[in-house]
Amino acid sequence: MTKAARPAPLGLTSLTAYALPGVPSAMMLYAVGVIVPGFYASDIGLSAIVVGTVLLCTRLVDVGFEFTVGYFSDRTHSSAGRRKPWVVAGAIVIAIGFYTLMTPEPGAPWQRFFFSLLAFYLGWAMLTVPYDAWGSELAHDYASRATIFTSRATAAYIGSLLFSLIPILPIFASSEFSPDVMRFAAFAVAIGLALTVPIALKFAPVEPGAPPKPATLKGLFSAFLTNAPLRLYIVSATLCGLSNGVFAAVTYIYQTDYMGFASRVWLMLIVYLGANLIALPIWAPVVRRIGKHRSWALGLLLNSLCFPPMAFLAPGEASFLPTLALLGFAGATYSVVNVTTPAVLGDVVDHETLRTGINRAGGFFALQALITKLTLAVGAGAAFLVIGFFGFKTGTLNQTPGGVFGIQIAYIYIPALLNLATIFFLWRFPLDARAMSIIRRRLDALAWRASSLTAHALDPHSTDKFEILTERNQR
């Protein structure tokens, strides 16, 4: 009898195959988080108040998507595993939803925005909840989980960069995010999903078998009440996500309708995302040295330093290069967040599995997907309501002092304060490398014992051999 298998370290081919769907996924998320709200306000003609209200209301309608998908993906049984069938179905749904969201006609009513966004959110849940849970379950220790999600983050940055480069293709008349650019991006994403998802299905391994006890919605609520690391993670991820949601949502209109850089937004996004990508290998040794949650906190602290100088940059050409520099530093400091956030949650999953014997990866990553969408939508909705309240006007450079104050509140002050609040909670997080090493060893021992008991039940004549192996393993 052999020891129960733990997930084997992923080779380069498997790691790359798993990460590839992150490229078109990031193109969609970046478009929806950064460009779409401002596009519907400036180009389609919806008011800031209407855009903010739609963003908030869609969250009230689709709040159950992630938990439903997580619940059923944990219970899916197929020759391809629990997660892969959901990734395929999610890719189809989200491609349709994203296309309808990106191709409105000028003057389209708010209902088009609302239902297109809702369809996108449904597809996002079906794709990303199983995809993230799959990646977490492929990890075999504390460090490998960070490696897997670093590859995923790298793919995400590549996807975001590709989306940002679309406006400067020679087939377009200008370098702005025009309706033609948005339509092209929708087709590019569909092709990207059609290419990368089959590669992931073929070359990335199936996740290991789940523990025998299934997760339930009641159990997820119980975990929230009794699992302190989970509560700290939820609070930290929510505050951090709100900061990013507010900042991302008004980036487009801040740079176009306040600073006057409409034709060079693509370059600003390239600088921000390029700095994200370049900084990833720099952050890797930091994560190994001080741990995932402390690296997350350090990144947010450095990121917060970017915001105060922005308040002193006046609209106009003289501020373009300083703005680029600050955005580059902001991107480099924030890149670690996209690696550590899912990796820390994977540690919380292991802690919960050891504590209860139940694998709630699907449910926990459904919660993470909900937090991502909730904070992007609520952050964006709140940001647009704030600038609308102070009288900021989209589609024009003529702003009142009140409008300028409102856009600065949303773009500069709120994100910085939310970052600092996140750091407070992250520093209290208890699952470091030492704790996770103990948890991982105990989970491996439990898995070995479970497989031994199963084999013993199938072969009742192996009593002596089982007892000898058990005693040896305990030593």
Whether 83 and 143 have beta carbons less than 8 Å apart is answered as: no
Percentage, residues of the chain above pLDDT 90? 36
Residue 129 has pLDDT above 70, yes or no: yes
- Write down how long the chain is: 475
Q: Could you give the CA distance from residue 363 to residue 215 in angstroms, rounded to a whole number? A: 7
Residue 91 has pLDDT above 90, yes or no: yes
Whether 410 and 70 have beta carbons less than 8 Å apart is answered as: no
Residue 214 has pLDDT above 70, yes or no: no
Tokens of 149: 């999600």
What pLDDT is recorded for position 472?
Answer: 45
Highest mean pLDDT among 110-119, 132-141, 207-216, 433-442: 110-119
Q: Torsion over CA of 52, 153, 164 and 413, rounded to 10 degrees?
A: 40
What pLDDT is recorded for position 30?
Answer: 86
What pLDDT is recorded for position 10?
Answer: 65
Task: Give the list of residues 6+ apart from residue 44 with CB closer than 8 angstroms, or none.
Answer: 104, 106, 107, 108, 113
Tokens of 355: 């504590």
Sign of the alpha-carbon dihedral angle for 66, 72, 74, 76: negative
What pLDDT is recorded for position 77?
Answer: 76
Whether 27 and 99 have beta carbons less than 8 Å apart is answered as: no
- φ/ψ of 105, rounded to 5, equals -80, 150
Token match 């350090």: residue? 298
- Angle at which helices 228-253 and 361-389 pack, to 10 degrees? 40
What pLDDT is recorded for position 6?
Answer: 52
Tokens of 40: 């519907």
What pLDDT is recorded for position 9?
Answer: 62
For residue 373, which of 220, 241, 280, 225 has the smallest C-alpha distance?
241
Percentage, residues of the chain above pLDDT 70? 87
What pLDDT is recorded for position 2?
Answer: 41
Distances (CA, A) of 298 to 284, 358, 403, 425: 13, 32, 33, 12
Higher pLDDT, 324 or 226: 324
What pLDDT is recorded for position 469?
Answer: 39
Which amino acid is present at 128?
T
Mean local confidence (pLDDT), 106-124? 91
* pLDDT tier at 241, thresholds 50, 70, 90: very high
What pLDDT is recorded for position 61?
Answer: 74
* pLDDT tier at 209, thresholds 50, 70, 90: low
Strand ranges, E, within 207-257: none
* pLDDT tier at 465, thresholds 50, 70, 90: very low
Mean local confidence (pLDDT), 443-460? 62
Q: How open is the CA angle 37-41-47, to the nearest 5 degrees? A: 120
What pLDDT is recorded for position 5?
Answer: 47
* DSSP-derived secondary structure letter, 259: S
Whether 259 and 160 have beta carbons less than 8 Å apart is answered as: no
Mean local confidence (pLDDT), 452-465? 52
Lowest mean pLDDT among 116-130, 136-150, 370-384: 136-150
* pLDDT tier at 456, thresholds 50, 70, 90: low
What pLDDT is recorded for position 143?
Answer: 63
What pLDDT is recorded for position 71?
Answer: 75
* pLDDT tier at 463, thresholds 50, 70, 90: very low
Predicted confidence (pLDDT) per residue in 4-26, tens digit: 445 556 678 888 899 999 999 99
Residue 90 has pLDDT above 60, yes or no: yes
* pLDDT tier at 217, thresholds 50, 70, 90: low
pTM equals 0.72
**Long-range residue pairs from 290-294, CB within 8 A, at least 24 positions apart, any chain:** 291/432, 291/433, 292/146, 292/339, 292/340, 292/343, 292/344, 292/347, 293/236, 293/340, 293/344, 293/426, 293/427, 293/429, 293/431, 293/432, 294/426, 294/427
In angstroms, how far is the first alpha carbon of the chain from the final one?
A: 17
Predicted confidence (pLDDT) per residue in 94-103, tens digit: 999 999 999 9
What pLDDT is recorded for position 206?
Answer: 77
Residue 83 has pLDDT above 50, yes or no: yes
Whether 199 and 73 have beta carbons less than 8 Å apart is answered as: no
Predicted confidence (pLDDT) per residue in 161-181, tens digit: 899 999 999 999 888 888 999
Task: Give the list of residues 6+ apart from residue 152 with CB closer than 8 angstroms, or none.
Answer: 18, 19, 22, 135, 342
Predicted confidence (pLDDT) per residue in 362-414, tens digit: 678 777 877 887 888 788 888 988 998 898 887 778 888 999 999 999 999 99
Predicted confidence (pLDDT) per residue in 291-321, tens digit: 888 999 999 999 999 999 999 999 999 999 9
Mean local confidence (pLDDT), 148-156? 82
Task: Give the list of residues 6+ apart from residue 443 with CB closer than 8 angstroms, or none.
Answer: 350, 353, 354
Highest mean pLDDT among 223-237, 275-289, 298-312: 298-312
Whether 252 and 177 have beta carbons less than 8 Å apart is answered as: yes
DSSP 113-179: HHHHHHHHHHHHHHHHHHHHHHHHHT--SHHHHHHHHHHHHHHHHHHHHHHHHGGGSTTSSSSS--H
How confident is the prediction for the chain on average, in pLDDT? 83
Higher pLDDT, 455 or 61: 61
Predicted confidence (pLDDT) per residue in 341-365, tens digit: 888 888 888 888 888 777 777 678 7
* pLDDT tier at 454, thresholds 50, 70, 90: low
- φ/ψ of 373, rounded to 5, equals -70, -40
Q: Could you give the CA distance from residue 263 to residue 249 in angstroms, rounded to a whole number? A: 18
Residue 279 has pLDDT above 50, yes or no: yes
HSE (side-chain half, CA atoms, 13 Å) at 81: 23
Instruction: Map residue 213 onto helix, strand or coil.
Output: strand
